[in-house]
Amino acid sequence: MAKKPVPPIEPDDWDDDEAGFLQPLEPPPPVRDPTDLRPHTRQLTDLLRARFPDRWVGVEIGTLPLRCEDDLLSDFIDLGDGLGVRLDYDPEEPERVLWISAGNRDHGGEPLDFPRDSEACRGRMLSTGEIAELLDFLDREAAY
């Protein structure tokens, strides 16, 4: 006996409670030795692999937006246990970083953010001072 087809649920059919249970897309599996990274991801990958060799997991390279609400291309440098650095790129200009954020995506807490979305600093690499601040933050977070 053939199964009766189930009609798709359209967004207009959802109530607010049902919409809250939509799951975000799963991130891609980490790439342990990526050869073709955007410049900002490459800069931080090289630093973090050297600084945290025992925690190194890889880079989740975002080729498509992972979350519908932000519509950004996001790379995540994974240091294990949810700790890492997320780099958000403009989908219209995929080489231009708009935001860099470090923290723990599994346990929450206050992230360390480096906005790059103003015209004054849009697309710029992290400065030496920002890199030192980032590494200090990740050292503290890794100690927990």
pLDDT of residue 137: 96
Q: Domain count of the chain?
A: 1
pLDDT of residue 63: 58
28, part of any domain: no
pLDDT < 50: residue spans in the chain: 6-11, 14, 19-20, 22
Number of H helices, E strands in the chain: 3, 5
Question: What is the rounded distance in angstroms from the CA atom of residue 62 to the CA atom of residue 65?
Answer: 7
Per residue in 46-57, pLDDT (tens digit) is 999 999 999 989
15, part of any domain: no
94, part of any domain: yes
Q: Return the biggest CA–CA distance within the chain.
A: 68
Structural domain for 99, as ranges: 34-142
pLDDT of residue 70: 57
